[in-house]
Amino acid sequence: MRLRPHHLLCMLTFVGEGYSPAFVANYRRLAGRLSAGEPIEIVSGPDDICAPLLSDEDAHCFGASVAGRDAAALADIARLLGRELRIGAVIASDPALFEQLRRAFSAGVTRHACTGCEWSSLCDRIAGEDYKGALVMTFSPPETAKETSAPHLA
C-alpha cells in the first residue's frame, strides 16, 4: 500500500469519517488491508488514500501545506522509530508498529504534522478515547502508567 507520510498518522484515528462517501469507502478498504498486515510504501505526494479526491482539479492533496505535513510527519516518525525514513521506504504494517505510533500520537510526540489540520479535534477525541472505534488494527491501552511497555519516546 502506498501512503504519504502524514497518512501514517491519519490512519491511527480513522473511524469512518472523511471528505466524501467515495473517500470513506476507499479508506475503509485500505484500513482492512493495513489491518491484514499489508506492507506500507512511503510515497511523495498523493497516495492510495488520496485516490478518490484526485479527479477534483482543486484537490488539496497537491498543496504545499500538505507537503509540509508530510515532511513533519516523516521526521517525527523516523525519530520515533530510531531510523532514517525516506520516500520509497517500505515498512511492516503490524500491531507493534501501530501500538508504537498510537502511544506516541497520544503523547503528542508525533503531532507536528497535525498543526492547523481540520481533523485535529476528531483525532484528539479518538486518541483520548484510547482509539475506540479506530478501523486500523486495535489498541491495547496500558492498565497503568507503570505497566506501559512502549519504548522511551523522549
pLDDT digits (tens, 9 = 90+) for 111-130: 999 999 999 999 999 999 99
Is 153 within a domain? no
Per-residue confidence at 15, pLDDT binned at 50, 70, 90? very high
Distance, CA of 18 to CA of 124 (rounded, Å): 16
Mean pLDDT in the chain? 88
Per-residue confidence at 30, pLDDT binned at 50, 70, 90? very high
**58 lies in which domain range?**
2-147
Whether 27 has a pLDDT exceeding 50, the answer reads yes
Is 152 within a domain? no
Per-residue confidence at 142, pLDDT binned at 50, 70, 90? low
Domain total of the chain: 1
Is 131 within a domain? yes
Is 30 within a domain? yes
Cβ partners under 8 Å of residue 99, min gap 6: 139, 140, 150
C-alpha cell at 26: 476507499
Full-model pTM: 0.85
Cβ partners under 8 Å of residue 147, min gap 6: none
